[in-house]
Amino acid sequence: MRRRLLAEFLGTALLVTVVVGSGIMAQTLSPDDVGLQLLENSTATVFGLAVLIVVLGPVSGAHFNPVVSLADWWQGRQTGLGLQTGELGGYIAAQVLGGIGGAVLANAMFDKPAITWSTTERASAHLWLGEVVATAGLVLVIFCLTRSGGTAFAPLAVGGYIGAAYWFTSSTSFANPAVSVGRAFSDTFAGIAPASLPGFVVAQLAGGIIGLLLVHGLFGRPAVGTAEPVVPHPDSR
């Protein structure tokens, strides 16, 4: 379990480092072109996320996201696999702490104060709807892969979906409470004001529920022994 928690902490930390760090670099390289900044930021995130899933998936499953861990825990009540309640709390704590650590690391690498609260307000109904759509789609992609036996394609599919959702959702697809919390610690391109966090987190949790309902509608109840997301790992029960 210690190895799994370390993998979740490290994976979420590096994911946020990629998101925040590439956002800072994009602002530096393309200061007058927001569209190009988003392209640079999303491209780095796609590749970074895919690599992290490949490398750390065999250790912890590569959740890096409390919504995915919650969905895994819920599905596990029916399949006999998945996270137990105590493990769920550990995963979420590791992910949130990793998200904060990743933002602090990115700030430090670019010679910014370690902690600078973001001033970017993201508190509008259309942005919350974007987060519902982004998170529902992410859960749908991940759990459809596990239900259809396609987890080998998870790095490509999950990275590709997040990259696309950067562009087709109004919120630019945070789709992750731990990453959202981390991004509040950096007043840069990828930041979100702390006051905007509750709305985003609620929207992400709602999206997770909708995503699971869609998976259930497509595949029915999960069978005993259904694989765990995102990547099955040796400690699967």
Q: What is the pLDDT of residues 121-148, one digit of tens each?
A: 999 999 999 999 999 999 999 999 999 9
Does residue 178 carry a pLDDT above 70?
Answer: yes
Rounded Cα gap, residues 98 and 29, in angstroms: 27
Mind listing the pLDDT tens digit for each residue in 2-26? Answer: 999 999 999 999 999 999 999 999 9
The pLDDT assigned to 79 comes to 77
Residue 40: closest CA among 154, 166, 143, 203: 166
The DSSP-derived string for the chain is: -HHHHHHHHHHHHHHHHHHHHHHHHHHHH-TT-HHHHHHHHHHHHHHHHHHHHHHHHHHH----SHHHHHHHHHHHHHHS-S--HHHHHHHHHHHHHHHHHHHHHHHHHTT--S----------HHHHHHHHHHHHHHHHHHHHHHHHT-GGGHHHHHHHHHHHHHHHSTT-----HHHHHHHTT--STT---GGGHHHHHHHHHHHHHHHHHHHHHHH-SPPTTPPPSSS--TT--
Give me the mean pLDDT over the 100-118 stretch.
97
Question: Tell me, what's the pLDDT at 224?
Answer: 75
pLDDT at 75: 86
Count CB-CB contacts under 10 A for residue 34. 12
- Fold annotation for 2-219: Glycerol uptake facilitator protein (1.20.1080)
pLDDT of res. 78 = 78
Residue 177 has which token pair?
Answer: 């409470």
- The mean pLDDT of 102-126, rounded to a whole number, is 96
Please write the tens of the pLDDT for every residue from 72-96: 999 888 777 788 889 999 999 999 9
- pTM of this prediction? 0.93
Q: What is the mean pLDDT of residues 34-48?
A: 97
Q: Is the pLDDT of residue 227 over 90?
A: no
Q: What is the pLDDT of residue 4?
A: 96
Is residue 190 over pLDDT 90? yes
Q: What is the mean pLDDT of residues 41-56?
A: 97
Domains of the chain, by residue range, sit at: 2-219
- pLDDT of amino acid 81: 77
Mean pLDDT along residues 34-62: 96
In which band, very low, low, confident or very high, does the pLDDT at 158 lie, cut at 50, 70 and 90?
very high
pLDDT value at 236 more than 60: no
